[in-house]
Structure 1
């Protein structure tokens, strides 16, 4: 996959894109990530990329001319790239969206800034608007990093095991079960016996029930859309009875 990121602050990406799993994915040739400074496409000597909004009001708006010039240059090299704009007004990003984007041939991510981007950019290029959640960041760079990370780890071959991604929280609509490793006992706290039993059927059953319990406790809203089996529903009923519900 080819991912192009359009930003006013490319230096912000130095750490997140040059460490850990993303770095290994780039080194293995599984993903190509390119940063593009929108200011490089400004036509004045001050490299101006923002201006005051028509109609008045506080803040600045990212200008249409340099952003369009940058975007057209990027799309010429990545013509199949799906254009995404990070903005607080966008659709909330989730695991399902990450899986959808991971199937694309390329992504072109525009990092929103200030009061936003001139609306004509979205209209001209049909950009999909994405938000990390109901809060406001200083700029869209952090959101672009999050989208890039979430998508990259789903590309085949990036993680050591395909099961790693499949078992993650939200992959099946539930929060992930708790994990343990050595030692088997620490400061009076022991690893659940079932995990030491070697009985993989019982281990799978325990993990699934733990996922259901954690989701019921922390994010009950997820259960409305989670893919549940009859056994899952029985487990939830039992959990509800234990809580006196």
Structure 2
């Protein structure tokens, strides 16, 4: 996978892209990152990339010319997904991360200032993505979030490939609780079933606990799932257990 990042602050990415999973993925040749300052593509001798908005108003607006030239330079003959990080974009989720992970080439545009010339949205980008209903100083941090979530899905990026499959949201449920040694710590014990060695029972326990955690923390996710008969039974048990706890 090739990932190009267009930003006014390329130095923000140096540590992120060279560390942890992203750094290892690049070392393995799984992904190639290229960060470009789109100010370098300005036709102005002063490297101007923004201007005042037509019709008046506060703030500055990113001009179309530098970004069009930058995308065309990094795309070449290819037709990559060109992603605009923007609070007006579609909400980002795991399903979209999985979709983007199947692409060979992604280009991220990280904006600043008041906004973008509308022609950038209409004629340059293929996707507008928001990572939440809040405003950041620029698109860099948002792009890092999306890039991390996409690269970790690439084959070989994680040491244990099942990790990505079992992560929260990958199955539509939040992930079950994890435990490791020691089996008892300050009087708190690991659930006996995890020490039993009975694989099928452990699988069922984990699924039920994923249901429990989702029910308690993100019940909205359950509305989107098709539950099996067994899962419906467990969910009813979880609801009854919760009612009993509330009475205590």
TM range (shorter): over 0.9
Listed one character per residue, the Cα deviations across residues 123-177 of structure 1 (whole Å, up to 9, x for unaligned) are: 1224210000111111100111011100000011111222110000000111001
Q: Which moved more, 1:226-235 or 1:127-136?
A: 226-235
* 1:50/1:63 contact within 8 Å kept: yes
Matched residue, 2:155: 156
Q: Is the CA contact 2:81–2:125 (under 8 Å) kept in the aligned structure 1?
A: no
Shift of 1:227: 4.2
Q: Is the 8 A contact 1:172 1:227 kept in 2?
A: no
- Relative to structure 1, the CA distance from residue 159 to residue 110 in structure 2 (aligned partners, 3 Å threshold; closer, same or farther) is same
Report if aligned partners of 1:40, 1:47 keep a CA contact under 8 Å in 2. yes
Following superposition, the deviation at residue 68 of structure 1 comes to 1.0
Moved more, 130-139 or 39-48: 39-48
Alignment check: 8 A CA contact 1:62 1:117 kept: yes
Deviation at 1:225, TM superposition (A): 1.2
Moved over 3 A (4+): none
Deviation at 1:232, TM superposition (A): 1.0
Q: Which residue of 2 aligns with 1:17?
A: 17
Q: Which residue pairs with 1:50 in the alignment? A: 50
Match of 2:72 in 1: 72
3-state SS of the aligned residue for 1:88?
strand
Contact (CA 8 Å) 1:173, 1:227: kept in 2 or not? no
Instruction: Give the length in aligned residue pairs.
Output: 244
User: SS in structure 2 opposite 1:15?
Assistant: helix
For 1:236, the equivalent position in structure 2 comes to 235
SS at match of 2:35: strand
Give, in angstroms, the shift of residue 228 of structure 1. 2.4
Other-structure match for 2:107:
108
Find the counterpart in structure 2 of residue 202 from structure 1: 201
| TM-score between both structures, scaled by the size of structure 1 | 0.96
Structure 2: state its 5+ residue gaps: none
Give the TM-score normalised by the residue count of structure 2: 0.95
Compare 25-34 and 118-127 and name the one that shifted more: 118-127
* Residue deviations 1:186-233 (CA, integer Å, cap 9, x gap): 111111111111011111111111110110010000011134222111
Stretches of structure 1 lacking an aligned partner (at least 5 in a row): none
Structure 2 residue 15 is the aligned partner of structure 1 residue 4: no
Contact 1:80–1:105 under 8 Å retained in 2: no
Query: For the aligned residues, what is the CA RMSD?
Result: 1.3
Give the 3-state SS of the residue equivalent to 2:34 in structure 1.
strand
Task: Output the CA distance in 1 between the equivalents of 2:158 and 2:145.
Answer: 17
Equivalent residue number for residue 213 of structure 1: 212
Match of 1:38 in 2: 38
